[in-house]
């Protein structure tokens, strides 16, 4: 899946130098991650309703360029690693106007019950496990047009996806 999240930079998110303060990017990535989960029909609220939490274990960010007030950034979150107990999300953040990469990074998570005891998502909620596993198997194999293996989606965003299911190639226009 090629999911993107756009966000306009607010004045209060900048520092004295007029650029976005580095601490704000963690919130921006969380907004994109939560929106991706909503888009994938597994909103955070559905996890919490089943007593499943997804705490952050670590954050790693590599800053490439800065953005300023009124700039628009595009965040592309993706599942980098997933085994049912732990999850690593990757992110690419670009400046919409210039196309320059602003930041690359990742957040590491685990799945727990409401008491923060680790759990296996496959045992706790097979439906969510399968959706995450499907997200993990989606990968970009060329630039420009997106090509993905083993992907299934219920709704889309004006993008062309090529999905290989079984022997043939199915082209889906969203």
What CA–CA distance (Å, rounded) separates 36 from 154? 13
Q: What is the pLDDT along the chain (174 residues), one digit of tens a residue?
A: 578 999 999 999 999 999 999 999 999 999 999 999 999 888 999 999 999 999 999 999 999 999 999 999 999 999 999 999 999 999 999 999 999 999 999 999 999 999 999 999 999 999 999 988 888 876 443 333 333 333 444 433 323 333 333 333 333 333
Predicted pLDDT of residue 3: 87
The set of residues, in sequence order, having a beta carbon less than 8 Å from that of 48 and lying 6+ positions away, is none
72 near 7, Cβ under 8 Å? Answer: yes
For the chain, residues classed under CATH 3.10.129.10 are 5-137
- Cα distances (angstroms) measured from residue 9 to each of 15, 22, 28: 12, 13, 10
Q: What fold, for 5-137?
A: Thiol Ester Dehydrase; Chain A (3.10.129)
**What is residue 167's three-state secondary structure?**
coil
This prediction's pTM? 0.78
**What is residue 20's three-state secondary structure?**
strand
């Amino acid at each position: 899946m090629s999911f993107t999240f756009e966000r306009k930079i607010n004045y209060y998110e900048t520092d004295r130098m007029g650029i976005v303060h580095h601490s704000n990017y963690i919130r921006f990535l969380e907004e994109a991650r939560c929106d991706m989960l909503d888009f994938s029909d597994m909103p955070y609220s559905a996890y919490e309703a089943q007593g499943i939490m997804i705490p952050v274990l670590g954050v790693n960010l590599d800053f490439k360029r800065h953005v300023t007030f009124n700039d628009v950034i595009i965040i592309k979150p993706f599942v980098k690693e997933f085994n049912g107990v732990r999850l690593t999300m990757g992110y690419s953040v670009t400046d919409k106007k210039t196309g320059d990469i602003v930041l690359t990074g990742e957040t590491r998570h685990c799945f727990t019950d409401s008491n923060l005891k680790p759990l296996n998502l496959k045992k706790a909620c097979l439906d969510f496990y399968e959706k995450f596993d499907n997200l993990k198997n989606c990968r970009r194999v060329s630039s420009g047009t997106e090509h993905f293996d083993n992907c299934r989606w219920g709704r889309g965003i004006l993008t062309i996806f090529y999905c290989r299911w079984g022997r043939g190639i199915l082209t889906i226009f969203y």
